[in-house]
Amino acid sequence: MNPLLHKYEFIPFGKFDVKQLEEALNKFLSQIKVNITQLEELNNATWDQVNQLLHSKLYQLNQLWGLTGHLLAVNDTQELRDLQAKFQPIITEFYVNLGQNEKIYKHYKHIKKQGYEMLDETTRKVIDNEFREFFLSGIDLSKTKKAAFKQIQNQLSLLATKFEQNILDATDKYSKLVTMEQLPGLPSDVLQMLAFNATKDGHDGLYKISLHLPCYIPIMQYCENRDLREELYRAYVTRASEFGPPELDNTQLISKILQLRQEKAKVLGFGDYTELSLYTKMAESSKQILDFLYQLAEKSKAHATKDVHELKNIAKKFGVTSLKAWDIAYFSEKLQQEKYSYSNDELKQYFQLPVVIDGLFKLIKQLYNVDFVPNNDIPTWHKDMQTFNVIKDGKNIGNLYMDLSARNGKQSGAWMNSARDRFTYGSKTFTPQAYIICNFTPPINNMPSLLTFDEVQTLFHEMGHALHHLLTRINHFAISGINGVEWDAVELPSQFMEYFTWNYHILQTITRHIKTDEVLPLELYNKLLKSRHYQSGLQMLRQLEFAIFDLSLHQALSAGIDYNALLNQIRKDIAVIIPPKYNRFPNTFSHIFAGGYASGYYSYKWAEVLATDIFAVFDGAGIQEYARLGQKFYENILSVGGLKPMLDNFKSFMGRIPQVDALLKYSGIE
């Protein structure tokens, strides 16, 4: 019996294999194609008929295909890769065909003319969005151009998958066994992790290092062995490039992706890919965005120049007269200790992962009156996970999966994704289910994972996305949760949550020292607070560099552009630290080549303007006002999905248009 072909409340992880997943995909695709034929044969379909025959089946197919991608991200196997390679062209072609289906398009046009005004606001918005999607799928194109568009979409989906897999394989491929003597300065918990990894592979007494971030970052920050730092840095920044195995080189993939995106934009009648990308975003033009980004760069550069000057000075104290890329994190840590009298490792001892999660849940309870109740009966894909019921006003409104530890076969980084979208169909409401995925140091020998302050902010960030998904009140999956929200606004709830980590009342609830059980002392908090804007100029310029590169790349008239030369030119214009010539950052820039941020990486800064502007209201009002303001934020931002433009939602909360002042203040670059 195939559990994926029977009704289930929770995805039956661990109870199905790849063959059964394939069987379910085939079955759902067959069913929906039958339904589409039935819909095509109707004269003038009503919205209820479209919803019943098409949307209810799309909901099931989306969920199942999403499950395939999810499993690849958290537990990559060759079997899953083969399955995705087999179905990706089929799924892509299905959706393009649907977007170019004249008969179904005709039904939508009929509904728009007949009875549209009688439909509820949610349904009208879904229909309006569908017209936009028909256009973006090439409904108005000639037969020849439709075929070309279909081929482009298929190739782009395959290339994006290959790009991501190459990064994963290149990251997993590198490992090195070293002795204790080669790791001077490394914190004890990191040494313990590296020893554990070596022992697992049968190398007792040695330490196994890798390019996974829980290993890479501490070595770059703390290891006194400069040669090892250089070796690890070079390995990290040349992943998936011509400096590694040819089969994992993303260089040609980047060129092909850029070429196809440009062709796609031209076929649809846009001047370039950026113009196409902005068609569904808040920002109005690339000029508006670039003006915004360069304005921030101009304000940040003096701060960043000062940051680098300080780094060079402290490096000289340690006998390093020429500061290199593999020295930046190391001397940044030394400088922080000198300036603020604390180290990141000292701070980390207070952030036990279970305590952080518990305090985060308490904050959410205070803001939105939402409880997270453990539910150990929910099937999971890994033993180290946690699963929860999400309770609001006594009702179970959704569920949360948390998979937070780094491991081989798992994509690096952190993200939130949907296991299930909110959807009311007939008498049944399917409540939302969210995944939060991170790559923290795994717990070892019954000792909890300890988080850096950056990792704490990462967890809060992803929880912001999850709340946006889970707390929706919209009953159609096409615009519930984060669906249908403009991509350059979708980071608002996540970045908003990050700023709570600077509040001492909140920090008291998420900290407990691993040995003494004490909460974060006020003295250490004050040191942390003083360091809030430490290297903020450098951090700002780094993000702006990526955003300007992304936008410029997709506006380039020639798809065969030398993207490394373009990035180097942008660095000359705005950066104050120039990496080595062998650095191949674009080859692992999965946000824009394998994710949804192509011509949209600026979204992080764009949305941060909105997030900081709103957070300043909470910050100014104080913790006693959190419940009232949280309710307002819930009603105007979190619960409304993609029903209205985010600018309208923002103005409903703030009573005015966004202002950049709060971003400058919280970034320390006023």
Nearest one of 529, 523, 525 to 510, comparing CA atoms: 525
Q: Which of 130, 164, 462, 545 is catalytic?
A: 462
Q: Which two tokens stand for residue 229?
A: 């730092």
Q: Who contacts 620 (Cβ-Cβ below 8 Å, separation ≥6)?
A: none
Residues 6+ away with beta carbon under 8 Å from 614: 492, 496, 633, 637, 650, 653, 654
Confidence of residue 561 (pLDDT cuts 50, 70, 90): confident
Separation CA 393–CA 372 (nearest Å) = 12
What ranges in 77-142 are assigned the alpha helix state H?
A: 78-99, 102-113, 121-136
Q: Which of 565, 557, 558, 602 is nearest to 581 (CA)?
A: 565
pLDDT at res. 559: 56
pLDDT of residue 670: 73
- How much is the average pLDDT of 166-189? 96
Main-chain dihedrals φ then ψ at residue 512, nearest 5 degrees: -165, 120
Question: 90 near 29, Cβ under 8 Å?
Answer: yes
508-537 residue pLDDT tens: 999 999 999 999 999 999 999 999 999 999
Task: Decide: 20 and 3 in contact? Cβ < 8 Å.
Answer: yes
How many angstroms separate the CA atoms of 334 and 466, rounded? 36
Phi, psi of 348 (to 5 degrees): -60, -30
Tell me the two tokens of residue 239: 């992943």
Q: Backbone phi, then psi, for 24, in 5-degree steps? A: -65, -40
SS3 content of the chain, % helix, strand, coil (to 5): 60, 10, 30
Residue 126 and residue 47: Cα distance in Å, rounded? 11
φ, ψ (nearest 5 deg) of residue 395: -110, 145
Whether 263 is catalytic is no
Q: 415 pairs with which residues across the strands?
A: 437
pLDDT for residue 558? 63
Q: Report whether 233 contacts 326 (CB < 8 A).
A: yes
Kindly state the percentage of the chain with pLDDT values over 70: 99
On average, the pLDDT of the chain sits at 96
Residue 605 identity (one-letter amino acid): K
For 96, left (φ over 0), alpha (ψ -120 to 50), or beta? Answer: alpha
Check pLDDT > 70 for residue 557: no
Question: Measured between alpha carbons, how far is 621 from 613 in angstroms, rounded to an integer?
Answer: 13
Q: Which residues pair with 399 in a beta bridge?
A: 389, 433
Burial label, 367 (beta-carbon count in 10 A; 0-12, 13-18, 19+): buried
- Would you say how long the chain is, in residues? 670
Confidence grade of residue 444 (pLDDT, cut at 50, 70, 90): confident
Is residue 487 helix, strand or coil? coil
- What letter would DSSP give residue 506? H
Q: Report the alpha-carbon distance of residue 526 to residue 296 in Å, rounded.
A: 28
Taking CA atoms, 493 is separated from 603, 604, 633, 637, 650, in Å, by: 13, 11, 9, 8, 11
Q: Beta strands 395-405 and 386-392: pairing type?
A: antiparallel
For the stretch 362-410, pLDDT in tens is 999 999 999 999 999 999 999 999 999 999 999 999 999 999 999 999 9
Q: Determine how many CB atoms are found less than 10 A away from the CB of residue 547.
A: 27
The region of weakest confidence among 433-437, 472-476, 593-597 is: 593-597
Q: What is the rounded CA–CA span in Å between residue 76 and residue 172? A: 11
CA angle 537, 542, 548 (to 5 degrees): 120
Helix axis angle, 626-633 relative to 603-621, nearest 10°? 150
> Which residues 6+ apart lie within 8 Å of 496 measured at CB?
464, 611, 614, 615, 633
- pLDDT, tens digit, 9 for 90 and up, residues 628-643: 999 999 999 999 999 9
Query: Could you tell me the pTM of the whole model?
Result: 0.95
Output the six-digit token pair for 248.
């994992």
Are 354 and 510 spatial neighbours (Cβ–Cβ below 8 Å)?
no
Q: Decide if 483 contacts 477 (C-beta within 8 A).
A: yes
Mean pLDDT of all residues in 305-326? 96
- Return the ∠ at Cα 237 (arms to 208 and 303), rounded to 5°: 115
Give the H/E segment covering residue 425: strand 423-425
Give 231's pLDDT tier (boundaries 50, 70, 90).
very high
Q: Are the C-beta atoms of 505 and 520 separated by less than 8 Å?
A: no
Model confidence at 211, in pLDDT bands (50, 70, 90)? very high
Which of these, 612, 622, 618, lies nearest to 659 by C-alpha position?
A: 612
Distance CA 620, CA 622 (A): 6
User: 210 by DSSP, 3-state: which?
Assistant: strand
Residue closest to 461 by CA, chosen among 611, 248, 576, 584 = 611
**Tell me, what DSSP letter sits at residue 625?**
G
